[in-house]
Structure 1
Amino acid sequence: MTSSMTGTVDQTPDARKLLLLVIGSIGVVYGDIGTSPLYAFREALRPFAEDGLHETEIIGLISLMVWTLTIIVTFKYVLFLLRADNDGEGGTLSLLALLMKKTGRYMPVLFFAGLIGAALFIGDAMITPALSVMSALEGLKLVTPAFGDYVLPLSIAIMVGLFAVQSKGTAAVSKFFGPITVVWFLVMAWGGLIHIGDDLAILEALNPLNALWFITHAGTVGFIVLGAVFLTVTGAEALYADLGHFGRKPIQIAWFILVFPALTLNYLGQGALVLDNPAAADNPFYLMYPQWALLPIVVLATLATIIAAQAVITGAFSLARQAVHLGFMPRLMIRFTSETNTGQIYVPAVNGILFIGVIVLILSFRSSESLATAYGISVTGAMVVTTLMAFQFLRSIWNKSVLVAAIFLAPLFIVEAVFLAANLLKIHDGGWVPVALAIVIMLLMWTWTKGSRYLKEKAARNDIPIKTFIAMVEKESDHSPVTVPGTAVFLTSVPDQTPAVLMHNIKHNHVLHEQNVILTVWTKDKPYVSESERIEITRLSKRFLRIDITFGFMEEPNVTKTLGLCRKAGFKFEIMQTSFYLGRRNLIATPNTGLPGWQEKLYMGMADFAIDPSAYFKLPPNRVVELGEQVAI
């Protein structure tokens, strides 16, 4: 009896923590997919509206939407991809890092697939806020048509406010995200339940044969409609990317207990409403609710879409941080807005780019109906890329044969490829927007990676091994540099070679400190590293030390704070008697080098955009010495 009661008490904190994680995941992970009912069914109905809506078309359409949710979100993401984690972290770049670490070599196909997936996600992060907020506010037209003129300015005002508060952090308001979104899903389920009885024939949509009938009999129009059907699974990529924030179990529980049932009921209710009243096809979501509830529902929908927008913006920040640490982008200013949650970050450059992109989209498309046509390509494209990478995951990580991996993923790939083809038909209607965004972002990441690799290879040809250099400077002669007190820390990315900044210091100042540290900061292909892995100290000579500091790609590279751990390992130094030497490269474009002329200029522009290394590595500003050099690229 006692042990039983004790067990219950001991489990209570864990159960409470799990419940909080489940509620939190509903707000952040499922905020995006939870706004799809606002526009997905409405957009899918439009191509059929011209020649009248038929019962078999509506049932087949709802069946296809429900089974798309089941196959792609439930089976692919919730049950499979959440297990394809990199030490608990998910997302395209995290999966790419895991595969590159496992294969141990550079694989161009894998690399470009990861970049395409990441680029499409950034495009998604621009379109989602614009589309979801406009969809919610368009419900005001049903309250009174006079509100119609206010949808656009209100959408812009909400976006201005949302992006303005990013620098303050979302920790203070994020505690409300989960409960508000829980209410939103419950309201969606209620809306569906009160209308399923309008025409019980809609329950036939639960039979997957109706989805197959729709695909095989709807003809050309049905193929076009597939693009809109895929809007039901927007947010699935964010579900995978946010794995590290909540863990697999809470995300899975939230999906099966609340999110999936609520979405299914809502789509069934919308279908039954349109079966009973075809005129409701203009806006079936809002017309499910009684007139007295319309304004509160619009307000709740707007809050839900703001939360969904916040979720993808946060996801874009996390993706940018991963890209920087993995060497796909130049160093960017990253600010941590929470002392307890490392996932709460703010990236000013990304925030500014997203804000400009969202406002341009709102002003260009002016309605959710127009913007919805542009949305599907980024979502389907990212999913196809993830499936291709999942194939390599099964081969490399789970050690499955080509045949087994193909049998498992081929059906998913075929379904997603068909959806992608349907969305590509919308290129001329605005679908070019996410494609153009993805191309630009991928080009930037590829250029930075290629340029950095080229410069590293070029520098290696002129490097002097550090052991050779130490032997030269420590040999007593008339030309020996003058010894000065204190510690000098020279940052370098190639610790076996003499840092260029050390060579320049000797050349121009003719001095050498009593204690000299060759410091290299590494980023591992995993999210976090333990304290035991953080620092490695190697004695090179009486006056020279080599220190290697390792961070995970989800960690803040705070060098000053980490050097404090060196004291425990025997490296004694005083911060006010330590100088940090950084090399500043002034890039000069030259013909006939390793990069095309246009890519040289682009790389140089990105290098100018990068944050100062002293700020990125959190070095004390008054202890940093920079020495410049001109480098031909």
Structure 2
Amino acid sequence: MSTEHKRSLPAVTLAAIGVVYGDIGTSPLYTLRECFSGHYGFSVEPSVVYGFLSLIFWLLVIVVSAKYLSFVLRADNAGEGGILTLMSLAGRNTSARATAILVILGLIGGSFFYGEVVITPAMSVLSAMEGLEIAAPNLDAYIVPLSIAVLTLLFCIQKHGTGLVGKLFAPVMLLWFMVLAVLGLNSIIHNPEVLRAINPVWAFNFFLDHKSFAFLALGAVVLSITGVEALYADMGHFGKMPIRLAWFSVVLPSLVLNYFGQGALLLKNPEAIKNPFFLLAPDWALLPMLILATLATIIASQAVISGVFSLTRQAVRLGYLPPMRIIHTSEMEAGQIYVPVINWMLYFAVVVVILGFEHSSNLAAAYGIAVTGTMVLTTILSCTVAYKNWHWKGFIVAVLAVVLLFIDVPLFAANATKILSGGWLPLVLALMMFVVMTTWKSERFRLMRRMHEHGNSLEAMIASLEKSPPVRVPGTAVYMSRAINVIPFALLHNLKHNKVLHERVVLLTLRTEDAPYVHNVRRVTIEQMSPTFWRVVASYGFKETPNVEEVFHRCGLEGLSCRMMETSFFMSHESLILTKRPWYLYFRGKLFIALSRNALRAPDQFEIPPNRVIELGTQVEI
């Protein structure tokens, strides 16, 4: 590690505290309270308190510290993480059939994230606002309106970027974790016997004493690790070392102290189960704690909103979602983006959820199923990477998979019991996103196959045009081609109807590689196919946004000079007609047509000046 890197490590670690750990850092607001909710029927007794605290402690140690920070973070694609990245890595050295299965698992995991991201802001902000029940009981009626107002402000500022507000994230979250630790430590000092819960025997005895009820209660205990996927998804922004350092130096000690402090409070005063987090604070600190909790939950919500923007961009670039407007809100940070369609769809869904559930305890019944589902899929995909990519011994990988699934599957099964009481919501949202992504990918492939079924050879056509050219006009024509060695549809139609050809023709293909970024040296590949035909292939990573101006600049450096204002871009615009299909494919066809009509047009997608674009329409049956 260089001296400069060492100097920057504390700053990056502080930033990681502000962004990566927002969701898991606000879990103490509601986790222990939900463990004793009426859903499970547990009374506040010492053995039960010790059992829950032991489960929470060992979940934080095993799932977060061991599984994610020690194992999953190893699976990086050029430093990037996330479920779609893991899917891409897992499918590299497998058979076609196995790759298809891994892609489906990855898409389900991505869909689960969309389902979770609707619950997280509503759950976090509502939990913070419910501190009003303690600080000012007469203001209970304002909890829901205030929560909606806070989230409305948060979603409205997304279009302006989070750079300015983001500078406050790290100091606020650091203060939040310090306050968690101080409040918890103060309570533990007055009741130190609560530390006995560190012994895992209490967790085992809890299951032996309560059996099926203890299993169901895992659905509440798992709330302590919601947000764990952010550790992996945000790896590209901060790196492995700062994320690990932030966890072990600040986040884990603060969370453990606060949970055990709440447990010590309950041993002393069982009535505090109404809201053990806020009752940890002295009366004079209730209002400041309410303000700080609100700020912390806003930051937690911002983290998942930014995460869904990043996931959406990856899905668009990998061809699983239709092109949509993606706005870069920072000239300095490539990762700061804003997706208007996703932002307002998410806002509408969050408001509906808040109005429908009204209380965080009701939302807790819906929370966790998507998180634990993603955890199971992450285990399967990461173990595949360990076996196929890292060449770990099969026996070691099998043992590791069994151990991790022995934890993940019961957590998922316990949360699956919440389906009728609210868990259906994230599942329905995830199913909708899965249908959209698989429909777009498969129907797009069907469309491309239908458009290129004429069977003409590109090389033969170019040779024929050079031998017997049509009327040639001055200038450069660029034909966007989705695939190499395929005749662009717009070129065929231009020759058929206009019967002219420009004196220089460039066949441009923009390709997304199986990597987050592509170095500029490998950005553009140029091949002269004939005296007047050129093929240009521009490669981008799935976290990059293609730009034709940049492609032209790289072409100029390679000896193919193209001036934007002297170039015409020919593109095909397909009007889709649905043919007779089986009933189970009819809906997918209708959905694909609707998505295509609302997709971002190529000129906007690749930042091509509108006055340089010529669109040639055609009807295509699908």
What TM bracket, shorter-length normalisation? Answer: over 0.9
1:103 matches 2:94: yes
Q: Deviation of residue 347 (structure 1)?
A: 0.6
CA distance in structure 2 between the partners assigned to 1:61 and 1:50 by the alignment: 14
- Partner Cα separation in structure 1 for residue 52 and residue 306 of structure 2: 33
Among candidates 45, 54, 60, match of residue 54 of structure 1 = 45
Match for residue 598 of structure 1 among 587, 593, 601: 587
Q: For residue 63 of structure 2, what is the aligned residue in structure 1?
A: 72
Residues 484/594 of structure 1: CA separation in 2 closer, same or farther (3 Å cut) = farther
Equivalent residue for 2:338?
346
Aligned residue in 2 for 1:290: 282
Determine whether 1:583 maps to 2:575. no
- Amino acid paired to 2:15: G
> TM-score scaled to structure 2, two decimals?
0.98
* SS of corresponding position for 1:101: coil
Matched residue, 1:570:
559
Q: Which 10-residue stretch deviates more, 260-269 or 220-229?
A: 220-229
Superposition deviation, residue 496 in structure 1? 0.3
Partner of 2:467, secondary structure, is coil
Matched, 1:559 2:551: no
Alpha-carbon spacing, 1:49–1:238, altered in 2? closer, same or farther (3 Å): closer
How far the C-alpha of 1:245 sits from its partner, in A, is 0.5
* 1:602 partner letter: L
- Alignment partners' CA distance in 1, 2:208 and 2:600: 54
Alignment of 1:537-552 (within 5 A): 537-552=526-541
Quote how far apart the aligned CAs of 1:460 are: 3.3
In the alignment, what sits opposite 1:271? 263
Distance in 2 of aligned mates of 1:47 and 1:412: 30
Q: Is 1:151 matched with 2:143?
A: yes
Distance 1:172 1:600 in 2: 44
For the 8 Å contact 1:48–1:221, the answer to whether it is kept is no
- Structure 1 residue 200, shift from structure 2 partner: 2.0
State how far apart, in whole Å, the 2-side matches of 1:100 and 1:453 are: 19
| CA–CA distance in structure 1, aligned partners of residues 206 and 119 of structure 2 | 29
- SS in structure 2 of the partner of residue 464 of structure 1: coil
CA distance, structure 2, for counterparts of residue 158 and residue 208 of structure 1:
40
SS at match of 2:368: helix
> Does the alignment pair 1:177 with 2:158?
no
Shift of 1:51: 6.2
Residue 427 of structure 2: aligned partner: 435
1:30 and 1:215 map into 2 onto residues whose CA distance is 30
Aligned to 1:82: 73
Counterpart for residue 163 of structure 1: 155
Please give the alpha-carbon distance, in whole angstroms, between the structure 2 residues aligned to 1:398 and 1:151. Answer: 51
Q: How many pairs does the alignment contain? A: 621
Alignment pair present for 1:507 and 2:496: yes
Q: Residues 220-619 of structure 1 correspond to what in structure 2 (within 5 A)?
A: 220-476=212-468, 480-592=469-581, 596-619=585-608
Aligned AA for 2:616?
L
- Say yes or no: does 1:15 pair with 2:6: yes
User: Over residues 354-411 of structure 1, what are the superposed CA-to-partner deviations in whole Å (9 max), with x where a residue is unaligned?
Assistant: 1111011000000101001100101111111111111211111111233221101211
Which residue of the partner structure matches residue 54 of structure 2? 63
Q: CA deviation at 1:606?
A: 1.2
Please give the secondary structure, in 1, of the residue aligned with 2:257: helix
Distance (Å, rounded) in 2 between the aligned partners of 1:589 and 1:599: 10
Structure 2 Cα separation of the partners of residues 178 and 446 of structure 1: 38
| Letter of the structure 2 residue corresponding to residue 396 of structure 1 | K
CA apart distance, 1:574: 2.0
| Pair 1:509–1:593, CA change in 2 (3 A) | farther
Q: Distance in 1 between matches of 2:177 and 2:563?
A: 56
- Secondary structure at 1:384's aligned position in 2? helix
Q: List alignment gaps of at least 5 residues for structure 2.
A: none
Compute the TM-score of the two structures, normalised by the length of structure 1.
0.96
Structure 1 residue 197: Cα displacement? 2.5
Superposed displacement of residue 39, structure 1: 0.3
In structure 2, C-alpha distance between the alignment counterparts of 1:569 and 1:518, rounded to whole Å: 16
Residue 84 (structure 2) aligns with: 93
Counterpart residue type for residue 355 of structure 1: Y
Matched AA of 1:456:
M
Against the structure 1 CA distance between its residues 86 and 588, is the aligned structure 2 distance closer, same or farther, given a 3 Å change threshold?
Answer: same
1:73 maps to amino acid: V
SS in structure 2 at match of 1:631: strand
Contact 2:75 2:385 (C-alpha < 8 Å) held by counterparts: yes
Residue 553 of structure 1 aligns to a residue whose secondary structure is coil
CA distance in 1, matches of 2:190, 2:209: 26
CA distance in 2, matches of 1:392, 1:263: 32
Range that drifts further, 396-405 or 364-373: 396-405
Match of 1:375, SS state, is coil
Contact 2:40 2:213 in 1 (8 A): no
Residue identity in the other structure for 1:275: L
Match of 2:180 in 1: 188
* Paired letter, 2:563: E
Given that residues 38 and 136 in structure 1 are in contact (C-alpha distance below 8 angstroms), is that contact kept between their aligned partners in structure 2?
yes
Q: Post-superposition shift, 1:201?
A: 2.0
- Superposed displacement of residue 50, structure 1: 5.0
Q: Which amino acid aligns with 1:242?
A: D
What is the CA–CA distance in structure 1 between the aligned matches of 2:305 and 2:39, rounded to whole Å? 34
Q: 1:3 corresponds to which residue?
A: none
1:53 Cα deviation from its structure 2 partner: 2.1
Deviations 1:207-259 (CA, angstroms, capped at 9, x unpaired): 11211221232222212211000000011011211110001010000000000
Mapping 1:121-132, distance limit 5 Å: 121-132=113-124
Contact kept, 8 Å, 2:121 with 2:350, in 1: the verdict is yes
Q: In the alignment, is residue 142 of structure 1 matched against residue 134 of structure 2?
A: yes
Does the residue aligned with 1:46 lie in a helix, a strand or coil? coil
Structure 1 unaligned regions, length at least 5: 1-6
Question: How much has 1:593 moved relative to structure 2?
Answer: 7.8
Which deviates more from structure 2 when the two are superposed, residues 13-22 or residues 274-283?
13-22
- What does residue 4 of structure 1 align with? none
For the 8 Å contact 1:47–1:225, the answer to whether it is kept is no
Structure 1 residue identity aligned to 2:82: G
Contact 1:170/1:344 (<8 A) preserved: yes
